[in-house]
Amino acid sequence: MNEELLKSIMYLFVGIAVLLCGMKFMSGGLKKITGRGLRNFFRKTQNNAFLGLAMGTVISLVTSSDATSALVIGFINAGAMTIFQGISIMLGGYIGTTITGILASFSSLPISIYLLSLAFIGTMMMFFTNEKIKNIGEILCGLGLLFFGLAVMKDAFGNADIKAFCTSMFASINFPILLFFIGLVVTALAQSSSAVTGIIIAMVGGGAIPLSSALYIALGATLGTVATTLLSSITGNVEGKRTAVTAFILRLISSAVAVALVWIFEQYIVTGLQAMAIGGSDEFPLAMFILIYNLIFMPMLIPLIKPVSNLVARIVKDKKKDEYADAVEFIDDGLLKSPDIALMQARKEIVHMYDLSFENYKRGLERVVGGLTEGHKEVAKTEGQIDYLNERITDFLIKLAPLVQTDSERKVGTYFHVINDIERIGDHGFNFSESADAMLSEELSFSDAAKTELAQMDKKIQEMFVMARECFAEKQYRNLKKLREYEETIHQLKQDFYSNHYERVLKEECSQQMTPYISTLIVELERVADHLTNIGYSIVNPTGDSEETTPKKTGRRRKARQ
């Protein structure tokens, strides 16, 4: 192997590496700038296929179609989106991702040498302290690296030996279906149709592959990109799997029809595309072919979404789920592709867990105070859901923590503390229910006076539940002072109720046997108030403490298990 050939091969690999780095930089910067916008897009999703198509197109302009598809699978797994909505967004994502090919084709323009300077400009901007300027710099740096990577690859493919090897190889496999299969497999392995498209464009620009062969490889790449979607669905629920299979079938239909048409009318299509050439290069015609293909075929697939998804529903059967798997409503690992949206969904799931703990608090307290014989099964089931959510949300936040931007790291830390407080509130509700069973077995009950006092305490705590939820879910700072005052009131009520109970015991108005139950119940009610204050104050301090608050009590009764 001569030195010149070895050098060209090394340049080729370096060019591919720089191209991939450039795409990652550009995508990362765009997602940071538009993170909040992406969240708003998904909030406005309606059951309108063409709106979904448009949304998917716009979203994929700032991220890859693979990331968009994974994000959609995550929403569907979490039950926040229907298959119909998700598929329409994914089809739009396939249109939007063609922007990478268009940008790559600009390397054939006479001004391409000046576009390389974007890498330097962007790098300088990344040294600024302003977050927006840094993000814009990341985008520009990515663009510059993308053009530089393409330029290096084109030069490498221009080497006589490499060019002769590629020309000979593609001449020997110049069969449409085989070329299509190559594009499919390479993209499935690379898990990025944008990267493969960029490499194909560089090969065309370097004369290593003719435009006629590149068309089939590019079509194969459009199907290969669905492999990422299939992988994203593996760990999800049945709806996510059905979405991935539906997307694959629809994409297979469109690419198969396109291959057949290009095969039949190849000469006319190549001639028409070459009329768009800039500077005698076929790079721009190839990028335009990919764009035109997606613009024509993706909208045409919309009427097929429902019949294909119905067919897939019959093939992909639902398996037996975990006992508490249905408790998860908003989070799925597929959402981690977009950390901003994942963080938003995590907060929704935490609020859902909070509502379950409030529900169990009321059920458990009603049982123990009212002496109800029924209801423990419902309390135990909800407690199981709370524990399951605690594990799932914790696992989700652990995976999300290294992905979020610096200004969101504090929020993730806060969420860990909040779910811990919520889980403990759920424990107290469960404990109330178990105390009810113990009292029933001993034929004990609270006196009317004790019930009146407990009702007074309960009323304050239920108001604290409402205030703490508003603080955390809606960032209502106005409730913080009142929440703190209520916590102090609960503390005072606990002292008063202790004294009142012992006076009733001395007067024989209450049984001495009730002392352990009433003292335990009052202590647990106070601790519920403590946890609610922590949750409310979490919006100003990750641990839930404020400058006014005293350190929280750490001891608590272990939850009894059946």
What does the pLDDT look like over 443-453, one tens digit per residue? 888 888 888 98
Kindly report the CA angle at 21 between 117 and 279, in degrees rounded to 5?
50
Q: In 10 A of CB 13, how many CB atoms?
A: 12
Report in angstroms the alpha-carbon separations of 301 from 60, 84, 228, 276, 373: 18, 12, 20, 27, 57
- Asked if pLDDT for residue 554 goes beyond 70, the answer is no
Q: Please, is 345 exposed, middle or buried when counting C-beta atoms within 10 Å of its C-beta (0-12, 13-18, 19+)?
A: buried
Most confident stretch, 338-347, 364-373, 457-466: 457-466
549 DSSP 8-state letter: S
CB-based contact 403:336 (threshold 8 Å) = yes
Determine the Cα–Cα distance for residues 72 and 247; give it in Å rounded to an integer.
Answer: 11
pLDDT value of residue 460: 93
Determine the Cα–Cα distance for residues 187 and 181; give it in Å rounded to an integer.
Answer: 10
Candidates 153, 257, 163; CA nearest to 197 is 153
Query: Which CATH architecture is the domain 325-537 placed in?
Result: Up-down Bundle (1.20)
pLDDT value of residue 561: 34
Give the pLDDT mean for 303-311.
90
Cα radius of gyration (the chain): 31
Q: Could you report how far apart the first and last alpha carbons of the chain are, in Å?
A: 74
Lowest-pLDDT choice from 121-125, 234-238, 281-285, 491-495: 234-238
- Asked if pLDDT for residue 553 goes beyond 50, the answer is no
Q: Which helix (H) or strand (E) holds 223?
A: helix 211-224
**Tokens 């936040």, located at residue:** 397
Residues in the chain: 562
pLDDT value of residue 180: 92
* Residue 249 banded pLDDT, cuts 50, 70, 90: very high
* Cα atoms found within 13 Å of the Cα of residue 199, Cβ hemisphere only: 18
* Residue 319 banded pLDDT, cuts 50, 70, 90: low
Determine the Cα–Cα distance for residues 395 and 409; give it in Å rounded to an integer.
Answer: 16
- Asked if pLDDT for residue 282 goes beyond 90, the answer is no
**Tokens 């009433």, located at residue:** 518
pLDDT value of residue 360: 93
Give the residue, 66 or 156, on which the prediction is more confident. 156
pLDDT value of residue 556: 38
Separation of CA 412 from chain center: 14
Most confident stretch, 276-285, 425-434, 540-549: 425-434
Q: In 10 A of CB 506, how many CB atoms?
A: 10
pLDDT value of residue 51: 74
What is the DSSP track for 366-394? HHHHHT-SS-HHHHHHHHHHHHHHHHHHH
* Residue 64 banded pLDDT, cuts 50, 70, 90: low
pLDDT, averaged across the chain: 81
pLDDT value of residue 386: 94
What is the DSSP track for 127-175? TSS-HHHHHHHHHHHHHHHHHHHHHHHHHHHTSHHHHHHHHHHHHHT--
- Asked if pLDDT for residue 42 goes beyond 50, the answer is yes
Kindly report the CA angle at 550 between 472 and 414, in degrees rounded to 5?
30
Determine the Cα–Cα distance for residues 266 and 276; give it in Å rounded to an integer.
Answer: 16
Candidates 367, 408, 472, 527; CA nearest to 39 is 408
pLDDT value of residue 41: 55
* Residue 166 banded pLDDT, cuts 50, 70, 90: confident
Determine the Cα–Cα distance for residues 454 and 524; give it in Å rounded to an integer.
Answer: 12
Residue ranges of domains in the chain: 3-315, 325-537
Give the pLDDT mean for 507-518.
82
CB-based contact 352:268 (threshold 8 Å) = no
SS (H, E, C) 499-533: HHHHHHHHCCCCCHHHHHHHHHHHHHHHHHHHHHH
Lowest-pLDDT choice from 40-54, 136-150, 162-176: 40-54
Phi, then psi, of 174 in degrees rounded to 5 = -75, 65
Give the residue, 333 or 47, on which the prediction is more confident. 333
For the stretch 360-375, pLDDT in tens is 999 999 998 888 888 8
Give the residue, 198 or 214, on which the prediction is more confident. 214
* Residue 390 banded pLDDT, cuts 50, 70, 90: very high
Residue 281, SS3? strand
* Residue 322 banded pLDDT, cuts 50, 70, 90: low
**Tokens 């009323």, located at residue:** 459
- Asked if pLDDT for residue 513 goes beyond 50, the answer is yes
Give the pLDDT mean for 254-269.
93
CB-based contact 505:515 (threshold 8 Å) = yes
Q: Please, is 143 exposed, middle or buried when counting C-beta atoms within 10 Å of its C-beta (0-12, 13-18, 19+)?
A: buried
Q: Which helix (H) or strand (E) holds 104?
A: helix 99-105
CB-based contact 31:133 (threshold 8 Å) = no
Phi, then psi, of 278 in degrees rounded to 5 = -115, 120
The residue type at 443: E
Give the pLDDT mean for 469-473.
91
